[in-house]
Amino acid sequence: MFFQHVYDKSLAQGSYVIGCQATGQAIVIDAKRDVDTYLEIARQNNLTITHITETHIHADFLCGSRELAAITGATMYLSNEGGADWQYEFDHVGLKDGDSIKVGNLTLAVMHTPGHTPESISFVLTDHPASNEPVMVFTGDFVFVGDIGRPDLLEKAAGIKGTKEIGAKQMYHSLNKFLALPDYVQVWSAHGAGSACGKALGAVHCSTVGYEKIRNWAFQFANREQAFVETLLSDQPEPPKYFAMMKHLNKVNRRLLVEVPKHARLTKEEFLSAYKNGLKIIDTRNKVEFAKGFIPGSINIQGNNSFSTWAGWLLNYQEQFVLIADENQMEDITRKLMRIGLDNVFGYIPNIHEMGIELQMVDNISLDEFKSYMSQGPVQIVDVRGLTEFNAAHLENAHHVFLGTLQENLDKINRDKPVIIHCQAGDRSSIAYSLLKNNGFKNIKNYSGGMKEWQAAKGKTIACNTTTCTNN
């Protein structure tokens, strides 16, 4: 048997290529959209991709199953579980609980595991030449290493009311199917640490059924369904805004993108025309370089592993935008954008200093300066971290406005008072600073050291739960 785990760090997303070396057939599970990766794996290992499948209708990335099928001619095998509202709207072979997919001498048995989503399925793999016992289970967003999939995304991200409690109860019962598998079976999921599809995902990519029984919090609630439901639904991170669009695009017929596009390098005249016409400018440079000088109105989303997530939060799927990025970074950034369906790139420029525009600088302040401003009188401290982070520890007078929803909550910040932005370590506050400047705020400072530096210096904080707040 051939096996390869393909992991995208930018979305903490895992996909799989599994092949029967005797027949040369291969299946891809939960493919990312830039599918050239799988074609190259198949070529290097003398395999032909004949089968394509998914564990569920994904919300966190644009699945590349249809692109891969268009290129290879492979058959798509997709869930037909979950009822009429959860059916894929394009041609495929439907899968139900108890069905199986044959890939040469390999068998992937279908196990319906609703909870994260109603149509969610897992695949139990048996390598028949070696054994008639299962060896791996591909769980998608059902069971992660150390965690399980959240059932609230349909309600929070897709706006389908009344689904989170139902999903949590379905998840409780689905776990019994997982528990029935042999302890030695390897567990391979669709996500790792950093994904917003759970709240405590482990950093390692593989586990076993037996290990998860012992260490995964979700398996410690025998005969306590309500306690399980309450724990599962509590403290889940904010789902990125783009999740609703992904849920839609992964279900319907959509435009296919079968190769990684190459975007145009704009001339000075082309850029200035786009800038004058109000196209959004996304500056992907490091926050340090951005702080030294940036084009007025541009938004700093660093081209690191968080780029896709924040681009998904802050860009919409109808508007064109211009990128500021080095030429040698463009392929990586383009891949990160296409993985969440953001294809409306007008072009890019590598050097802001050639545009003839007077640059602005970020007003970063040190820890000592931050303390001084706090003692001087009326200043607004705006904490743009997630709510869970904020509740765990925040400054006494801090006002919480989560970065992902900052643009919709500008009215919560007084334009007539000085504003100091901070996050944990400066990445998110750099985005927030650029957003506020873009929206006409004048008196803004960025405490770039953030809570990490503040707590290291033994600064006082407050922690809050659902009823009370206490000093730390």
Task: Tell me which residue of 185, 17, 160 sits closest to 85, measured CA to CA.
Answer: 160
Query: How much is the pLDDT for 85?
Result: 87
pLDDT in tens, 15-53: 999 999 999 999 999 999 999 999 999 999 999 999 999
Query: How much is the pLDDT for 156?
Result: 75
Task: Tell me which residue of 277, 408, 410, 78 sits closest to 399, measured CA to CA.
Answer: 410
User: Helices 330-338 and 307-314, interaxial angle, to 10°?
Assistant: 60
Are residues 81 and 209 both part of a single domain?
A: yes
The domain that holds 239 is classified in CATH as 3.60.15.10
Are residues 116 and 218 both part of a single domain?
A: yes
Asked whether residue 242 is assigned to any structural domain, the reply reads yes
How far is 32 from 339, CA to CA, in rounded Å? 6
**In the predicted model, is pLDDT for residue 158 greater than 90?**
no
Residues 436-442, mean pLDDT to the nearest whole number? 95
Asked whether residue 292 is assigned to any structural domain, the reply reads yes
**In the predicted model, is pLDDT for residue 157 greater than 90?**
no
Asked whether residue 439 is assigned to any structural domain, the reply reads yes
Percent of the chain with pLDDT over 70: 98
Asked whether residue 203 is assigned to any structural domain, the reply reads yes
pTM of the model: 0.93
Residues 95-121, mean pLDDT to the nearest whole number? 97
Query: How much is the pLDDT for 346?
Result: 98
Residues 130-134, mean pLDDT to the nearest whole number? 92
How far is 259 from 252, CA to CA, in rounded Å? 20
Query: How much is the pLDDT for 420?
Result: 96
Are residues 314 and 233 both part of a single domain?
A: no
Query: How much is the pLDDT for 472?
Result: 64
- pLDDT bin (cut points 50, 70, 90) of residue 134 is very high
Are residues 88 and 107 both part of a single domain?
A: yes
Structural domain harbouring 337: 268-354
How far is 10 from 118, CA to CA, in rounded Å? 26
Helix (H) or strand (E) holding 95: strand 93-95
Q: How many domains does the chain have?
A: 3
User: What value does the mean pLDDT of the chain take?
Assistant: 94
Are residues 372 and 345 both part of a single domain?
A: no
How far is 330 from 284, CA to CA, in rounded Å? 10
Are residues 333 and 310 both part of a single domain?
A: yes
Task: Tell me which residue of 385, 388, 408, 415 sits closest to 398, measured CA to CA.
Answer: 385
Are residues 295 and 229 both part of a single domain?
A: no
pLDDT in tens, 195-226: 988 888 998 999 999 999 999 999 999 999 99
- Amino acid type, 466: T
Strand partners, 106: 103, 127
Query: How much is the pLDDT for 239?
Result: 86
